[in-house]
Chain A
Amino acid sequence: MTRSEGPPDQLRLLAAAAHDLKTPLVFIKGAAQQWGSTGLNPAQRIELIRRVGQSADRMLKLIDSLIGSAQAEQTPLLLEPVAAGDVIWQAHQDIKPYADELGFDFHIRLARGLPPVLTHRLSLRRILFNLMDNAIKYSRRERRVNITAGKGADEQVIISVRDYGIGINQADMKQIFTLYGQAAEPTNALPGSSGLGLFIASTLAEAASAHLSVRPHKLGTTFRVGVPAARQLSLFA
């Protein structure tokens, strides 16, 4: 009997997921060891246990995202009219504890009269969470993320997540939404940390009738999610 091997993409996904789950687990293990050591004052202990909780929360969210992404590839998602502003605020609430811990300011600006969008609510929430998480990861001195939502062309609502961080290499732009960095076997190519969050966002976007794009700036990056406006059905057709 031969061992079955998954397609290369599945191995890359597993490698990326393994890396992103290991990081918070390594922290939790290290924190447990430090907790037992002498020399920590009460404030340090409180901070340590708070971060253990946030690390566990991040792992749970990642697992949910992975499952959601896998399900979205297998089963068509039920799309419904959704208030984009509500989903933006929900995603912000999801990331807020972690963002506050790192000292980040999130500025959210929603255009007046935004139409509802036709999408899968939970998927859009996960997409936005991943984009906000990515914005934090790539930020440095400027701990600020701007989120805007407004009407775009072609009856779309455009949600933008803008960071002021280290930006993305031009060479990496084409593969930004793929798992390019996660070879099944690591090589000296190890170009950068896992792009799992963006890959999941891209998978969910496709299933949720949304479109992802990226625009680099001198300082930082803007990720855009385009979602079709839900047409209002008239009762008096």
Chain B
Amino acid sequence: MKSKNHHVLLIEDDLFLRELYLQALQKAGFIVQAAQDAQEGLDLLDEYGADLLVLDLMLPAHGGIEALHELQSHSDWQSIPVVVLSSVPRQRFVGADLTQLGVKHYLYKPDTTPEQLVNTLSQV
């Protein structure tokens, strides 16, 4: 996905990280909406839509997995590619089939700099 004019919805509860990623994505030319939690993210999705979702799995109140299920339940949102950005290593995540939930990439936060996030989104 080329960055220019593509809409990204970023859902990340930590303010410092959210703004770090937001600035990096905007600098790369993405149009970004940023949310602190799943509900706010879904509200922004409803209002603005998105070409791609960057999602933290550990969110207050309702987790990221719940948000993914919500996405799949809406016909307008099912096809939005998802990049998960999580502090939980991929190999330790068991349970939900993330591919079925629209996840295209699983990025481990400690190994992912803002620049690497931008590179990944540019390839989606």
Contacts and interface: CB of A to CB of B under 8 A. Distances in A.
Contacts of A169: 61-62
Contacts, number: 93
Nearest to A139: B36
A39 B58 CA distance: 31
25 contacts: A23-B87, A26-B17, A26-B87, A27-B16, A30-B113, A30-B114, A31-B20, A33-B114, A33-B115, A37-B115, A55-B16, A140-B36, A166-B37, A166-B39, A169-B62, A185-B92, A185-B94, A186-B93, A187-B94, A190-B58, A190-B63, A191-B62, A192-B60, A192-B62, A194-B58
Contacts of A55: 16
Contacts of B17: 23, 26-27, 30
Contacts of A37: 115
B94 A39 contact: no
A51 interface: yes
Nearest to B68: A188
Interface in A38-68: 39, 44, 51, 54-55
Contacts of A137: 13, 60
Given A34-B23, A186-B88, A193-B59, 17 more contacts: A23-B17, A26-B17, A27-B16, A30-B20, A34-B24, A37-B115, A137-B60, A138-B61, A140-B40, A166-B37, A168-B61, A169-B62, A189-B95, A190-B88, A191-B63, A192-B59, A192-B60
A19 B87 CA distance: 7
Interface residues of B, number: 36
A67 to B, nearest CB: 22
B32 to A, nearest CB: 16
A33 B27 CA distance: 14
A102 B16 CA distance: 9
B92 A186 contact: yes
Interface in B44-67: 57-66
B109 interface: yes
B112 to A, nearest CB: 8
